[in-house]
Chains A and B, each alone.
Chain A
Amino acid sequence: MSSTFVPMAETFAVETWWVQIIKGVIIALIGFTLIPAAVTVERKLLGRFQHRYGPNRAGPYGTLQAGADILKLLGKENFRPAASQGFLFYLAPILAVVAAVATFAIVPLGEVVTIFGQPVGLYGIDVGIGPLYVFALGSIAFYGLVLGGFASGSKYSYLGAMRAAAQLISYEVAMGLSLVGVIMITGDLSLVTMVEYQQEHLWFVLLQPVGFLIFVIAAMAETNRAPFDLVEADSEIVAGYMTEYGGGGFASFYAAEYLNMIIAGAIATTVFLGGWAIPFWPDAPAALGPFVVIFKTFLFVFFFVWIRATLPRLRYDQLMSFGWKILLPLATLNALITAVVVVAI
């Protein structure tokens, strides 16, 4: 009897191995470049929402402010509280960043193109379990939060970590269920296939409006954005799990947070807004793909900032009842109805 190797997840690579390494580095760098961009966009926009300029001193229109902040943070002393647990305390921010960057690898920025005679897919990896990969790494990133809060040996950090645990578990369920409808329609878990399906048919934002809404709301909760920022509610628990972090540790958590926001926007773009597809231009050049994806992602960043400028933070019981009593039943109903319709057609 011959044993067949069944992989846990299939990855579809069109490149040779060395192209994959170069591609991986470039995609990680793109991710790290988008972080200061998102920070700048958020701070400038938030300023405009409040009738002020936002940062406008460092560099032209304040564009160098985020870079200056990162440099400042990295130049600071790396101290830790006496009550903290050293290994975990330093592991936590690394875990958060690694998980965030690894999640970014799955975002499809474009289709397969030929660069210098080599076929290159404009994405980190195309795994056969797309959204599951996102959720799996999201859970690892959440270890970073909880470990950081736990290892700090501070009450505020601990409170933040406990809140993170409760909130992320609650909203991950609704987030996962909101994607089930899309997965059922596509019949595939690969994000690249999802985009191709949307190019041929209709964008999922029109096919699955409820799922889209639930996904965006749950994504805001998953990335600890206002109004779901109880995890780091600065008026209540200082900065939550990252209270005791300064310098590089804080910078890492901060970067991971913004990268998670970008990833949430990018996944929403991929799954619901047609990824690299440009409406009414089916044969757009493939090189435009990454720009289209980043543009659509920043539409989501704009929306997240808009929401932050508008809504006050939820109370803890409101957060829980909203997640469990409204989002989860809605997502389940959406999945059920989609299942019935998919089977019927």
Chain B
Amino acid sequence: MPHPEHDSYFIQRGPEPGGTGGVGRAFGETLRGLKTTFNRLVEGVDTVQYPEEKIPVYPRFRGRHRLHRFEDTGLEKCVGCSLCAAACPADCIRVVAAENTPDHRVSGGERFAAVYEINMSRCIFCGYCELACPFDAITMGNDFELADYNRSDLIFTKEMLLAEPLERTPLRAEGE
């Protein structure tokens, strides 16, 4: 309700604490609180038992990277252009390119990545490498369980990135 003269409002205040009425109200409110917590007890548990039970990730989830091959020829898609390394804000990708020769053909293009390393301990999983890649050779997978005992083990080589990953993370469809 606006005040008739000032530019202010009357706010209805709660009852004053203390006194005999305060004791009664506190008792009632305590019972109400007990009811609230008991309802939480009845509702059951929300915890996901993580290592045994996993929440599926969406396809757009940006997990560990993967490198891809052409399905028909088996050649690598990566041509060693280093655009991913240039786009990487964390500077965690190292590419050393080499020429394809007729008797040693690795990729579909003129050149291939002789060394392709991603340092997972630096990667921020922004997905810029995926966007930068002109051949869709690198994509973000859905694996997020990357813990390891040594930092050096977190530098993923080309072979590791090309390999078919273990099915460790359940996937769900978009909108599921």
Contacts and interface: CB of A to CB of B under 8 A. Distances in A.
Contact of B30 (A49, A53, A310): A310
Interface in B76-106: none
B38 A306 contact: yes
Chain B interface main SS type: helix
B36 A310 contact: yes
A307 interface: yes
B33 A311 contact: yes
Chain A interface main SS type: helix
B37 A49 contact: yes
A76 interface: no
B23 interface: yes
Contacts of A45: 41
Contacts of A4: none
Contacts of B47: 51-53
Contacts of B34: 306-307, 310
A61 to B, nearest CB: 12
Interface residues of A, number: 14
A50 B39 CA distance: 10
A306 B49 CA distance: 24
Contact of B23 (A48, A49, A307, A326): A326
B148 interface: no
Interface residues of B, number: 15
B84 to A, nearest CB: 41
A51 B37 contact: no
B36 A51 contact: no
B128 to A, nearest CB: 37
Interface in A23-68: 45, 47-53
Contact of A311 (B30, B46, B49): B30
A52 B45 contact: yes
Given A311-B30, A326-B23, A49 B41 contact: yes
A326 B27 CA distance: 12
A48 B38 contact: no
Interface string A283-313: 0000000000000000000000011011100
A322 B119 CA distance: 61
B26 to A, nearest CB: 9
Contacts of A309: 37, 40
B31 to A, nearest CB: 10
Nearest to A47: B45
Identify which of B23, B37, B38 gathers the most chain A CB atoms within 10 Å of its CB: B37
Given A306-B38, A326-B23, A48 B33 contact: no
Interface of A: 45, 47-53, 306-307, 309-311, 326
Interface of B: 23, 30, 33-34, 36-38, 40-41, 43-47, 49
21 contacts: A47-B45, A48-B45, A49-B37, A49-B41, A50-B40, A51-B40, A51-B43, A51-B44, A52-B47, A53-B45, A53-B47, A53-B49, A306-B38, A309-B37, A309-B40, A310-B30, A310-B33, A310-B34, A310-B36, A310-B37, A311-B33
